[in-house]
Amino acid sequence: MHPAPSVILFTVLSGAGFGYLAFLALGFPAVAGWAGFAAWGFGYAMAVSGLLASTFHLGNPQRALLAFSQWRSSWLSREAWTSVAALTALAPMALSDWLGLGLLRGFGLVGAAFCAATVISTAMIYAQMKTVPRWRDWSTPVMFAAFAVAGGGVLAAPPVWAAALALAPGAALILSFRRGDGAFAAAGHSLGSATGLDRLGQPSVFEQPHTGGNYLMREMIHVVGRRHAARLRPIALLLAAAVPALLLVILPVPLARPLAFAIHLAGALAARWLFFAEAEHVVGLYYGKRG
Amino acid sequence: MTCLPAKVDKTLGLVIDLDTCVGCQACVTACKGWNDQGYGVPLSDQDPYGADPSGTFLNRVHSYQVEVADAAPQIVNFPRSCLHCADAPCVTVCPTGASYKRAEDGIVLVNEDACIGCGLCAWACPYGAREMDAAAGVMKKCTLCVDRIYNDQLPEQDREPACVRTCPTGARHFGDLSNPQSAVSRLVEARGGYALMPEIGTGPVNRYLPPRKKGAGLSGPLTALVDLPATGLAGWLDRLLGKL
Amino acid sequence: MTQPKLNLSPPVSDEVRQTTCYMCAGRCGINVHLKDGRVSYIEGNRDHPVNKGVLCAKGASGIMQVTAPSRLRAPLRRVGPRGSGAFEEISWDEALELAVSWMKPLRETAPEKLAFFTGRDQSQSLTGWWAQAFGTPNYAAHGGFCSVNMAAGGIYTIGGAFWEFGQPDWERTELFVMFGVAEDHDSNPLKIGIGKLKARGARVISVNPVRTGYSAVADDWYAITPGTDGLLILSLVHCLLEAGKIDLDYLAQWTNAPMLVNAAEGPEKGLFVRNAESQPFVIDRRTGQPAPWDGAGVEPDLGADWQGNRSVFRHLAETYLGPAYAPEAVADRCGIAAPRIRALAAELAEAAFDRAFAVPRPWTDFRGNRHETMQGRPVSFHAMRGISAHSNGFQTARALHLLQILLGSVEAPGGYRLKPPYPKPVEAHPTPHFVTVPGKPLSGPHLGYVRGPDDLALLPDGSPARIDKAFSWENPFSAHGLMHMVIPNAHAGDPYRIDTLFLYMANMAWNSSMNTAQVMEMLTAKEGDDYVIPRIIYSDAYASEMVAYADLILPDTTYLERHDCISMLDRPISEPDAAGDAIRWPVVAPDRPGSFGVRGFQSVLLDLGARLGLPGMVNEDGTPKYRDYADYMVTHQRRPGVGPLIGFRGDGTAEGRGAPNPDQLQRYIENGAFYQAHVPEEAAFFKPWNAAYQDWAVRLGIYETPQPYLFSLWSEPMRRFQLAAEGHGPRQPPDHLRARLKQAMHPLPIWYPPYGDADAAFGYKVHALTQRPMDMYHSWGSQNAWLRQIRGRNLLYLPTKIWLGQGFEAGDWARVSSRSGLITVPVAHMAALNENTVWTWNAIGKRKGAWALAPDAPEATVGFLLNHLISELLPRQEGGPRLSNSDPVTGQAAWFDQRVRLERVPAAERPAQSAPSFPELPDVPRAGGGRVQNFSKNLDRNFREFRGPRDPEGAP
Ligand SMILES: Nc1nc2c(c(=O)[nH]1)N[C@H]1C(S)=C(S)[C@@H](COP(=O)(O)OP(=O)(O)OC[C@H]3O[C@@H](n4cnc5c(=O)[nH]c(N)nc54)[C@H](O)[C@@H]3O)O[C@H]1N2
Ligand SMILES: Nc1nc2c(c(=O)[nH]1)N[C@H]1C(S)=C(S)[C@@H](COP(=O)(O)OP(=O)(O)OC[C@H]3O[C@@H](n4cnc5c(=O)[nH]c(N)nc54)[C@H](O)[C@@H]3O)O[C@H]1N2
Ligand code: SF4
Ligand code: SF4
Ligand code: SF4
Ligand code: SF4
Ligand code: SF4
Ligand SMILES: [Mo]
């Protein structure tokens, strides 16, 4: 799949944003006054800018409100609702923290649940795609959740926890690589089943239907060099998980948090790039390109 | 409606005969020509005379080579457009309801006025049947020529998809696949029509008729009227002309 | 959201105008939809006899041609050096006066110094007539480099050809065998026909080194080695003869098989034995005595041996029963195993004889014999350039006709059926006319059918009278001329120099020439300050490669903007059951705002003719006789009552013959732009011998008297050339041509290796072919924004043996060399391919700067032509000048004789562009416009940042 910057930014920022907001909502760390304003503001900024980034992916963003309409079947629609619900539900909590209104944490719990739902909905947009076997797996929501928890946790979890949570995406990535690498083959789709020509023998592409490019090739058929992926995977693991965790262990936590978060974010971007770039859509079969 | 209709009255679709398709691409440009001025916004082209021309098409024709055990390799031309699936995942993923399946005939359409161009439906389609128009930013797909098949401004016999009407070999057939008596259903029955990627569970309506078995014919050996070496030319002539 | 309400019955357009397609020479009927006066949609005309509603990919995207930015917009006069593309726009008056100032002096002194050659011209009866009136012998259209072998081989044998001049009896045939067809002129009819066979489950077999398109759907495929079809066919003949599976009755009645071949040594040897009235005769089986071949009740004896003169049939049997034609003897050479050949023969026999049927339709033959039924033979054939474009193509075409005649299927129900004005024997065609007299027209048409050496177009000194050397000893039956030799010969001054080269609709600086690089040099070659070819006038509608090489451009309209006439006088749109013709008319007005505009070439030609005062084109007072082409189409008469169009003559009801009708074009327009005159039922089959057909043809004006004839298994015209080569007769060939004439002019179909095979001895062992893509028309498809997305580049396809043998890998390039050139091109693997053959799509490669395409368009960077490897001359041979790379009988360009050698380019050295690459052509003044380029604000970034995989497509 085409690793579109807007979508990478969207999933990474909104994931980290909602993760962080959830921590705040649950009172980790407890913030108040202008520090509260800054913390909540940062969380909101990440979540909202992530959501905004997603609109850059749209052909007609001016109609984006319509995306709320199909919550009964569409994960994207559900994500729209949950994200708005989360942002709305958390507003009293945020105001309370800022202005010291003393709202019960229970309110935050509801918001945090919406944050979690948002992250899961986002993940489900991908995990529901039977057309992309690498994504269509329980490890996808696990990974999205792990990134959200880590993104939030690095910034907000209690010191001991932060380092541990920072490792979560590492585990999730390893899991998703392991489960994902064989997924396409395991799904059993082939040029033969895609065309039904396995009835006859062994089909392969003779000529492409068009020598010019098209949307499908740009959007679904992205061939990443194997070596490229092999190099990026450890980088993503290191940056998204190992280095932040290490920093949180070896440096004083308040100092480590921003540094670890920045590095984690870079790792998350790399991992998300791979998430798309390595994902093979079955339509590639028709073009003789698994990619 | 983003949810699939509980029941469709008919299931209109195409039956494509792979034994007959010569890969001429006529259905590709006929489709482009009709839909460029028909349903929805035009099918735009980018860089049309440049280094990387690209545009929106609703129908594409592939060409595959097939290595066959104990027989000569084959080439199979393979048209690909929307299969108007019964369980169309492109419809259910659509967040806006722009993608929908018509209850009256099962045609899967995009309401372009409601499409935000998120591309999810194209992701969900296993068959590459949807292409986002790069000029209008809305999703395009085969409409089964819904603006032809019921169009009372067209003569009766023209109320069929543009690709079917133009196909010079008659490799494309259009009809109601829910009716076992329809011409298309009978073709599917007779020729072993099949669905693409059935394992993915989309329940495609369109069917493909497989290439017939190729190779030597059924006629026996050439039985000689006379055994030439035995009779020589003169004898051959005599025996042969005696037939007259 | 609820299901939206749709308008299911939107109006399609404001108006529909019916005319004829011209995205190829197929001439399908089209409905052109107009919205606000502009073309909005084009679909097939269901009532049209050619396409019955269907359109091909080109026809269905014709709108992209009418709006192409490459359209020319004004007459152009060259101002810079030739080939530089520097032009100024001039008015039509200036342009025509300039042309007249060049042509008039030539006409008055040496008319042959004007050479007028036209490409895939659909108005040859006009252009030929014009050239005749001018008085130059140098006129032909494109058939010489196209498929004259197919045309002439057919005319000389059955009085009709494949090409689009006939078609299988699609409704009845049980077995259809195609030789060397990728697309054909008759492409939609062929596709419709194949579709019909498929729908009924009838059997289709393809003989072709490459299995694509029609061959891909064929039920069986014979991967023949190029150039060996003749051998395969004659081996099939061998098998059928051996088994006695031939139609003796058919042979005895309708062919010259029973005629007696003169056995006496001397100048008559091998000609037919003739009676006192100089008529060949047959031996009547009833009496054993000579009898007239067309005598009533005569039963010709096929096995006759009369006074030592044996029948054609005896010669034929002796020849083909010989061991040289046994399947086992030809198998290796043809690349087809002997049992497969025998199996094919068995299939043919089974279809022709075991599935024979009789149609209960009584008819009377030219001898006056009445037949109660029509004998059906449900086996049919088609062949085109795969056979034709070889230097043994004429004889191979003859061999194929021999095969279908032996099966008794030509003109039989279920077999191959000719379309009026065919059948038409050699005798009904003119002979070539070429004698020039300054200021006077030629005494007859240029092109014709030679009966013997006396008809050759030779000057008194024995040298060729024509610039292309057509109808010379080098190519005696060159019925379509040799367009591919015009520029090389004019450049070489061999046989002479010309002054003005006038070309219409032929991209001679690119894909229609062999040896493109040198042709471009010849076009710009100078001698002193002057160009060797001093003046070039060219009519094109688009900014093709050729435009840059002309001195004067006469810009043509596109096909929807002009009148055209698809006439019975040249290549009509007949069906076996109907004579038919068609028109084009301006369904939209030519629109080139802000410039001098374009004009239909035929109107321009008539205007030029009038300005030159050519006979037939001016009235007695010197005023132009025809207002324009439309006027000519209606009022011109070739013979009294016979004009370009057969329909709605006289008072509007006359057919074929009749006075000009001023309403004729309007009536055509109302009728869908075509007309059909139906063949009566009893006349539908066995046309050459069917009295009802002959009478109908005379009524229609096809000929003046009935022209029954016998199929020519033994060709006397050919034998006459052999006799000359053997030293008989007053007209003698040059010595260096004797041996080749003796071989090639064999009166029975034979096979000899194509001349290109000689290259194998120099290490060029691999056959190299091109095929036409169904979705592109030569060079002009690429200006179509839709089609070029489908096929904007080409690859050279290599068979498994070469692919694996030479270690090729996906994405590879190869250096491909021939004895005359080298190209470096991208390659891909193809399994379904003859193991010694490589091929590519024809004419996808473009010169940079042409066709209003960006110079970095893939057509110009990676696309390539095979033509760079093909030489228009054969290698020099002992004891003679270099001969053209053509069939020795007809002069047909031997495109497919090409042999090459391949070398893999190491992966590290893969080039970015194919070679050779020529300097970019500068843009010429043109109309512009075309498909708009637009992006969604949101999506264009995405589009631009990721342009899709660039690796060669198709490489598995
Ligand atoms: N390697 C290889 N070369 C081949 C062949 C092959 O098989 N292999 N095939 C050969 C054969 S059979 C042929 S026929 C030739 C074809 O070669 P060409 O006859 O050169 O074919 P086109 O490219 O169609 O070029 C015709 C020209 O006509 C112009 N034209 C198009 N429409 C109009 C119009 O309406 N009016 C005017 N005035 N001009 C117009 C086009 O712009 C173009 O410049 O190629 C030959 N070349
Ligand atoms: N779409 C489209 N249609 C066209 C044209 C076009 O450019 N595009 N051009 C038109 C013109 S000008 C012409 S002349 C016709 C030509 O129409 P075709 O005769 O169909 O022309 P080609 O594409 O040259 O196809 C030649 C075929 O012969 C095969 N072949 C080559 N050598 C041999 C051989 O030795 N033996 C056998 N058995 N087969 C062989 C090739 O593989 C190829 O399939 O098409 C006309 N129609
Ligand atoms: S028009 Fe018909 S024959 Fe041609 S590619 Fe399409 S389906 Fe195949
Ligand atoms: S083919 Fe694709 S676009 Fe069409 S209905 Fe099925 S899933 Fe949807
Ligand atoms: S691109 Fe349009 S039709 Fe497709 S899912 Fe998005 S909104 Fe729905
Ligand atoms: S049915 Fe209509 S929209 Fe669909 S592929 Fe055919 S022509 Fe195109
Ligand atoms: S075959 Fe195609 S291009 Fe040729 S006349 Fe017919 S529709 Fe037009
Ligand atoms: Mo041609």
pLDDT, one tens digit per residue, over C18-46 is 999 999 988 999 999 999 999 999 999 99
A198 touches chain B (CB under 8 A): no
> What pLDDT score does C436 carry?
97
Are residues A209 and B80, on separate chains, in Cβ contact within 8 Å? Answer: yes
Closest Cα in chain B to C59 = B26
Closest Cα in chain C to B22 = C213
Please tell me the distance from the alpha carbon of residue A5 to that of residue A9, in angstroms, as a whole number: 6
* Range(s) of the domain holding residue B193: 12-217
Nearest to C22 by CA among C618, C601, C595: C601
Nearest to C843 by CA among C509, C498, C406: C509
C912 touches chain B (CB under 8 A): no
- In this complex, how many residue pairs, one in chain A and one in chain B, have their CB atoms less than 8 Å apart? 204
Same domain for A41 and A148? no
> What pLDDT score does B221 carry?
82
> What pLDDT score does B2 carry?
63
Residue B244 belongs to some domain of the structure: no
Nearest to C7 by CA among B151, B102, B99, B110: B151
Domain total of chain A: 2
CA of B22 to the centre of ligand 3 (A): 6
Phi, psi of C416 (to 5 degrees): -95, 130
Please tell me the distance from the alpha carbon of residue A15 to that of residue A22, in angstroms, as a whole number: 11
Same domain for A167 and A236? yes
Atom of ligand 7 nearest to the CA of C23: 3
Residue C439 belongs to some domain of the structure: no
Of the candidates A77, A102, A128, which is a domain's last residue? Answer: A128
> What pLDDT score does C946 carry?
43
Atom of ligand 1 nearest to the CA of C772: 7
Atom of ligand 6 nearest to the CA of B172: 6
> What pLDDT score does B14 carry?
98
Please tell me the distance from the alpha carbon of residue C14 to that of residue A194, in angstroms, as a whole number: 42
Atom of ligand 2 nearest to the CA of C58: 1
Same domain for C169 and C54? no
Residue B154 belongs to some domain of the structure: yes
Nearest to C759 by CA among C476, C397, C385, C391: C391
* Range(s) of the domain holding residue C721: 714-747
Residue B6 belongs to some domain of the structure: no
Atom of ligand 4 nearest to the CA of B99: 8
Closest Cα in chain A to C936 = A59
A1 neighbourhood in chain B, CB within 8 Å = 123
Are residues A212 and C788, on separate chains, in Cβ contact within 8 Å? Answer: yes
Residue C564 belongs to some domain of the structure: no
Residue C726 belongs to some domain of the structure: yes
B47 neighbourhood in chain C, CB within 8 Å = 933
The stretches in chain C having pLDDT less than 50 are: 946-956
What ligand has the least distance to the C-alpha of B15?
A: 3
> What pLDDT score does C569 carry?
92
Q: How far is C1 from chain A (nearest CA, A)?
A: 7
Test site for ligand 5: of B1, B91, B110, B113, most ligand atoms within 8 A of the Cβ: B110
Whose tokens are 């009377």? That residue is: C364
* Range(s) of the domain holding residue A247: 132-291
Phi, psi of C72 (to 5 degrees): -75, 165
- Does the CB atom of residue B110 touch ligand 4 within 6 A? no
B62 neighbourhood in chain A, CB within 8 Å = 195, 205, 207-209, 286-287
> What pLDDT score does C714 carry?
98
Are residues A205 and B2, on separate chains, in Cβ contact within 8 Å? Answer: no
Edge-to-edge, what's the strand order for the sheet holding B74-80?
Answer: A202-207, B60-67, B74-80
Q: Are C816 and C902 in contact (CB under 8 A)?
A: yes
Pair of tokens at residue A129: 């795609």
Same domain for C349 and C243? yes
What's chain B's average pLDDT? 94
- Does the CB atom of residue B90 touch ligand 4 within 6 A? yes
Residue B4 belongs to some domain of the structure: no
Same domain for A76 and A157? no
Same domain for A144 and A238? yes
Atom of ligand 7 nearest to the CA of C777: 3
Percent of chain C with pLDDT over 90: 94
Q: Are C49 and C192 in contact (CB under 8 A)?
A: no
- Interval C483-508: pLDDT, tens: 999 999 999 999 999 999 999 999 99
Of C789, C943, C946, the CB nearest to A212: C789
Same domain for A83 and A6? yes
Residue B227 belongs to some domain of the structure: no
Q: Are C746 and C717 in contact (CB under 8 A)?
A: no
Residue B46 belongs to some domain of the structure: yes
Among C residues 807-846, those touching chain A with beta carbons less than 8 Å apart: 830
Q: How far is CA C867 from CA B164, C114, C823, in A?
A: 37, 27, 10
- Interval C740-782: pLDDT, tens: 999 999 999 999 999 999 999 999 999 999 999 999 999 999 9
Q: How far is CA C891 from CA A169, B137, C476, C520, in A?
A: 76, 56, 8, 22
Same domain for A165 and A273? yes
Whose tokens are 């590709």? That residue is: B28
Of A57, A208, A223, the CB nearest to C953: A208
> What pLDDT score does C950 carry?
37
- Does the CB atom of residue B76 touch ligand 3 within 6 A? no
Same domain for C232 and C334? yes
C29 touches chain A (CB under 8 A): no
Same domain for C248 and C281? no
Q: Is the pLDDT of residue A84 over 70?
A: yes
Residue C170 belongs to some domain of the structure: yes
Query: What residues are paired with B141 via a beta bridge?
Result: B130
Q: Which residues are placed with Cβ below 5 angstroms of ligand 8, an ion? A: C 146
Are residues C8 and B23, on separate chains, in Cβ contact within 8 Å? Answer: no
Same domain for C769 and C808? yes
A207 neighbourhood in chain B, CB within 8 Å = 62-63
Three-class DSSP category at A282:
coil
Are residues B24 and C9, on separate chains, in Cβ contact within 8 Å? Answer: no
Query: What residues are paired with C184 via a beta bridge?
Result: none
Of the candidates A128, A146, A170, which is a domain's last residue? Answer: A128
Pair of tokens at residue C719: 């034998």
What CATH number is associated with residue B27? Answer: 3.30.70.20
Are residues B134 and A61, on separate chains, in Cβ contact within 8 Å? Answer: no
A206 neighbourhood in chain B, CB within 8 Å = 63-65, 75
Are residues B3 and A193, on separate chains, in Cβ contact within 8 Å? Answer: no
> What pLDDT score does C942 carry?
53
Closest Cα in chain A to C794 = A211
Same domain for A32 and A82? yes
B214: which DSSP letter?
-
Of the candidates A96, A128, A160, which is a domain's last residue? Answer: A128
Same domain for C334 and C275? no
- Interval C82-117: pLDDT, tens: 998 899 999 999 999 999 999 999 999 999 999 999
Atom of ligand 5 nearest to the CA of B114: 7
Same domain for C207 and C178? yes
Pair of tokens at residue C7: 């308008």
> What pLDDT score does B167 carry?
98
Residue C238 belongs to some domain of the structure: yes
Are residues A214 and B57, on separate chains, in Cβ contact within 8 Å? Answer: yes
Q: Are C531 and C83 in contact (CB under 8 A)?
A: no
What ligand has the least distance to the C-alpha of C189?
A: 7
Are residues B170 and C317, on separate chains, in Cβ contact within 8 Å? Answer: no
Q: How many residues does chain C have?
A: 956
Q: How far is C625 from chain B (nearest CA, A)?
A: 42
Are residues C216 and B51, on separate chains, in Cβ contact within 8 Å? Answer: no
- Interval B26-64: pLDDT, tens: 999 999 999 999 999 999 999 999 999 999 999 999 999
Of the candidates C747, C769, C800, which is a domain's last residue? Answer: C747
Enumerate neighbours of A (3 or more CB pairs within 8 A): B, C
CA of C190 to the centre of ligand 8 (A): 16
Percent of chain A with pLDDT over 70: 99
Written as one string, the DSSP assignment of C48-102 is -TTTTT---TTGGGTHHHHT-TTBB-S-EEE-SSTTS--EEE--HHHHHHHHHHH
> What pLDDT score does C956 carry?
28
Of A56, A221, A289, the CB nearest to C938: A56
Phi, psi of C33 (to 5 degrees): -90, 135
Residue B222 belongs to some domain of the structure: no
- Does the CB atom of residue B162 touch ligand 6 within 6 A? yes
Residue B191 belongs to some domain of the structure: yes
Residue C606 belongs to some domain of the structure: no
Are residues A217 and C942, on separate chains, in Cβ contact within 8 Å? Answer: no
Domain total of chain B: 1
Phi, psi of B128 (to 5 degrees): 65, 35
Same domain for A57 and A181? no
Please tell me the distance from the alpha carbon of residue A151 to that of residue A171, in angstroms, as a whole number: 14
Same domain for C271 and C253? no
Phi, psi of C448 (to 5 degrees): -170, -170
Same domain for C738 and C833? no
Q: Is the pLDDT of residue B241 over 90?
A: no
Residue C76 belongs to some domain of the structure: no
Q: How many CA atoms lie within 13 A of B101 on its CB side?
A: 31
| Secondary structure percentages of chain C, helix, strand, coil, to 5 | 30, 20, 50
What CATH number is associated with residue C409? Answer: 3.40.228.10
Q: Are C422 and C166 in contact (CB under 8 A)?
A: yes
The amino acid occupying position C453 is: P
A205 neighbourhood in chain C, CB within 8 Å = 953-954, 956
Closest Cα in chain A to C791 = A211
Same domain for C730 and C789? no
Domain total of chain C: 5
